[in-house]
Structure 1
Amino acid sequence: MKKIASIVVGIFLVILGIIGWLLPIVPGWPLILIGASLIVPDFAKQLKRRLFRKFFNKDIVILDNLKKYRVQAGFTTRRFPVVLKKTDDLLDENNQRYFHEAISVGAGLPSTGGSVSGGKPAPTRYVFLNQVHGDALQVLEDENQLASVGAGLKPAPTEFYHLMNTDSVVTNLSNLVLLVLTADCLPVFFIAGRDDGRWIGLVHAGWRGTQKRIVRKAFDMIREKSGCGVSDIRVVFGPHIGKDHYEVGEEFMDHFGHVGARGRAPLRRTNGKLYFDLTGETKRQLLEAGALKSRITDLDLCTVCDPKNFYSFRLEKGNAGRLVSFIGIF
Structure 2
Amino acid sequence: MRSFEYIRASKPEDAVRSGATIIAGGTNLLDLMKLEVMTPETLVDVTRLDMKSIDADDDGVRIGALVTNSDLAADPHIRRDYAVLSRALLAGASGQLRNKATTGGNLLQRTRCTYFTDTSQPCNKRDPGSGCAAIGGKNRILAILGASEKCIATHPSDMAVAMRALDARVEIRGHDGEIRLATLDDFYLLPGGNPEKETILGEGDLITSIHIPKPEPGKHIYRKVRDRSSYAFALVSVGGVLGIEGGKIAHASLAFGGLAPRPWRNAELEHALVGQTPDAALFDRAADILLADAKGQGDNDFKIPLARRTLKAALRELTGVSQ
TM range (shorter): under 0.3
TM-score (norm 1): 0.23
TM-score (norm 2): 0.23
Q: Which has the larger radius of gyration?
A: 1
